[in-house]
Amino acid sequence: MTDSPGATPARYDGYADWYDANLGPFAEAAGRELLALLGRGPGRCLDLACGTGVNLRRLTDADWSVVGVDLSSDQLRRARERAPEGVELIQGDATALPFADASFDAVACALVHSDVEDFSALCREAFRVLRPGGRLAYVGIHPCFVGPFARNPPGEAPELHRGYRNTAWTKEGFGDGIRRRAGARHVPLAELLNAFLLSDLRLVRVSEAEDEDFPTRIGILAERPGSSDADSRGER
């Protein structure tokens, strides 16, 4: 989880333990889908907006050399508690990354597009830090079925109301959880996909959560066009 531009790092500070306790199963499912999209290493992988670090071990176990970045010091505190040896964690803005151009073979990112003011800026930064041929795997809440316009009763079909095109930052419609406190921004499906395309990333695959009748998660695999060093060596 990360912050929007101009906000203080404290937007999500104080919620790390609550996040793990209440969203752990959902985040774990998103993490499994994330790795299924990304695939195994080797290579240097940026866990972008790593939050409490739920995907750090999953990525390292898949032979990636992982660097995690997040704006929230409280989220990073929890991430450091669970980070495997050798993982580097850095506090930084996902829309203005403190890394050199073309410094990663892969970028993994989950559950963040509703938490930044400009998701396209995050995609542009992912493109910048990826090496040619590098992959960006993203899993987020499904724009068509999750948002302030939707109600999702357990075991029932979602109820959709007017407001799908309303992209204003809001705290309405998110119950009593972290969104109710910190707010969120709805990103319609077209805007979400265009954020990748307008950043010059090439879409490779789009997936939807298969463990639900109405998917609450969407997965997107994109890549920076070009040939990676690994490709030229025949490693992939």
164 is a domain residue = no
- Domain count along the chain: 1
Using one digit for the tens of pLDDT, what is the confidence trace for 112-170? 998 888 999 999 999 999 999 999 999 999 999 887 778 877 777 778 888 888 877 66
CB 190 within 8 A of CB 165: no
Q: How far apart are CA 164 and CA 42, in angstroms?
A: 40
Model confidence at 232, in pLDDT bands (50, 70, 90)? Answer: very low
CA angle 218, 138, 9 (to 5 degrees): 110
Residue 44 belongs to some domain of the structure: yes
Residue 177 located in a structural domain: no
Eight-class DSSP state of 9: G
Average pLDDT for the chain: 85
pTM for the model stands at: 0.85
Q: How confident is the model at residue 234 (pLDDT cuts 50, 70, 90)?
A: very low
What are 167-190's pLDDT values in tens digits?
776 655 444 455 555 667 889 999
**Any domain includes 160:** no
Q: How far apart are CA 131 and CA 220, in angstroms?
A: 18
* Residue 210 located in a structural domain: yes
Q: Is residue 149 part of a domain?
A: no
Domain membership of residue 134 as a residue range: 9-142+185-232
